[in-house]
């Protein structure tokens, strides 16, 4: 870990208070295992459906994700702990333990998908039961892509890079890791980034821009890299094709084993899994904008350019993905040493609840628009806005008195 990336940011990260958090700091290492609740719950509900014949169980994980987890989040509250510099060294030296969690999570991700595919195809279910299964697997894909995201940032570690491909392949999201690292992180919180949502843009309008935009950018980035290497796009070194190959083989094997019905089910779950990731992208940078410097380059990404959430339960499940402000300011920091920034813009709830809110655009706007205005101190020219809503938003929210005070 470079010393240089901590000097400017640690000063503004929340002070750790060892006396208050010493027990939690020690126990937290094992509390990360909470992330396995997601695949375990999916497996349990799939098996319960098979044993009882009650199709309602196939909706189980969807309910857990969007209802139970937000309730637990509310009850448990925030995580007060930020590691000190000495603790960071200790946490980093234990890196193998934290990596093994990611590897095991990758395996359980596939176990969940295979089990649910088996249960859906080998028993008779009504269409609405199968819909529940699709949504439940899609929610698990969201957790899986969180795992893949963490692995994919470790570009110097061949094992983690391979695991990232295997994990992304579960939902067939071949371009995710390349596009996320080289595209989204480079251009985050700018109008040019298809994966940064704009104020006034609904989740559904964003999806129509983000899904094709991110796919195009991911494949192009890899094509450009291969071109620099004087290699064919169809070379075995194409990392996206490698991931896609894993998906084809795995989905093909499941179709061969479980019958033709497995394929449409797998494709539907993958498509909805992609949409779940779109939801995450939507809530992470809504309306936030980096300014251009005099030299025409965007200012560097700071904690204030990502919405942050410090709820304890969902941060354990998502391995600190919600400490997103620190992650975007310092993308190579491992999940166990990500910090909370109290001055970063805060989402009022964890990701599952905010995703549910995003699905109802008027409610999302009601909760989030005034937060964006507050973030910009009333100066709407500092906000990343949907061009179609720009005039309306300016007239409604721009407050020069606040902006110039």
Partner 1 sequence: MSKYQCPDCGYVYDETQGCEEEGYAPGTEWEDIPDDFPCPECFVRDKPDFVEINE
Chain residues binding partner 1 by CB under 8 A are: 1-5, 155-156, 181-182, 185-186, 225, 227-229, 297, 300-301, 328-332
In the bound state with partner 1, the residue whose beta carbon lies nearer, of 154 and 349, is 154
DSSP label at residue 346: B
* Distance linking the first and last C-alpha atoms of the chain: 40
In the bound state with partner 1, the residue whose beta carbon lies nearer, of 99 and 312, is 99
Beta-sheet strands, E only, within 285-380: none
347 Ramachandran zone, left/alpha/beta (phi>0; psi -120 to 50) = beta
Closest distance of CB 168 from partner 1, Å: 17
In the bound state with partner 1, the residue whose beta carbon lies nearer, of 43 and 102, is 102
In the bound state with partner 1, the residue whose beta carbon lies nearer, of 141 and 327, is 327
Closest distance of CB 184 from partner 1, Å: 9
In the bound state with partner 1, the residue whose beta carbon lies nearer, of 182 and 398, is 182
SS3 category, 131: helix
SS3 content of the chain, % helix, strand, coil (to 5): 70, 0, 30
Closest distance of CB 378 from partner 1, Å: 28
- Using CA atoms, how far residue 397 sits from 161, 191, 372, 379, 383, in Å, is 44, 20, 10, 8, 11
Closest distance of CB 225 from partner 1, Å: 6
Closest distance of CB 6 from partner 1, Å: 10
Closest distance of CB 212 from partner 1, Å: 22
Choose among 348, 393, 353: nearest CA to 373.
393
Judge whether 129 and 55 are in contact, CB under 8 Å. Answer: yes
In the bound state with partner 1, the residue whose beta carbon lies nearer, of 4 and 75, is 4
Judge whether 308 and 327 are in contact, CB under 8 Å. Answer: no
């Amino acid at each position: 870990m470079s010393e240089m990336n901590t000097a400017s940011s640690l000063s503004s990260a929340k002070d750790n208070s060892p006396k208050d958090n010493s027990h939690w700091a020690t126990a937290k290492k094992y509390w990360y295992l909470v992330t396995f609740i997601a695949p375990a719950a999916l497996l349990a509900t799939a098996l319960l459906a098979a044993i009882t014949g009650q199709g309602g169980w196939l909706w189980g994980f969807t309910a857990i994700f969007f209802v139970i987890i937000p309730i637990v989040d509310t009850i448990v509250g925030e995580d007060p702990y930020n590691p000190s510099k000495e603790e960071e060294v200790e946490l980093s030296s234990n890196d193998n333990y934290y990596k093994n969690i990611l590897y095991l999570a990758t395996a359980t991700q596939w176990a969940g998908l295979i089990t649910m595919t088996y249960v859906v195809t080998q028993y008779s279910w009504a269409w609405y039961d199968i819909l529940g299964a699709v949504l439940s697997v899609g929610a698990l894909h969201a957790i899986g892509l969180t795992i893949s995201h963490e692995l994919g940032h470790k570009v110097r570690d061949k094992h983690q890079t391979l695991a990232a491909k295997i994990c992304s392949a579960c939902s067939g999201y071949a371009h995710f890791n390349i596009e996320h690292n080289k595209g989204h992180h480079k251009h985050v919180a700018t109008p040019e980034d298809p994966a940064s949502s704009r104020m006034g843009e609904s989740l559904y309008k964003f999806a129509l821009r983000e899904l094709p935009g991110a796919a195009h950018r991911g494949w192009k980035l890899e094509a450009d890299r291969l071109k620099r290497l004087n290699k064919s796009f169809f070379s075995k070194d194409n990392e996206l094709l490698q991931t896609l190959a894993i998906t084809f083989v795995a989905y093909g094997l499941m179709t061969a084993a479980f019958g033709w019905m497995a394929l449409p089910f797998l494709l539907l779950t993958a498509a909805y899994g992609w949409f779940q990731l779109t939801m995450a992208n939507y809530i992470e940078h809504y309306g936030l904008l980096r300014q251009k410097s005099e030299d025409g380059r965007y200012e560097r990404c700071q904690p204030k350019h990502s919405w942050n959430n410090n709820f304890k339960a969902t941060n354990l499940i998502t391995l600190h993905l919600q400490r997103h402000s620190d992650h975007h300011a310092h993308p190579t920091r491992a999940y166990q040493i990500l910090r909370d920034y109290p001055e970063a813009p805060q989402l009022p709830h964890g990701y599952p609840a905010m995703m549910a809110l995003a699905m109802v655009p008027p409610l999302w706007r009601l909760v989030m628009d005034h937060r964006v205005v507050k973030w910009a101190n009333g100066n709407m020219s500092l906000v990343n806005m949907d061009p179609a809503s720009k005039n309306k938003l300016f007239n409604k929210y721009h407050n020069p008195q606040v902006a110039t005070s």
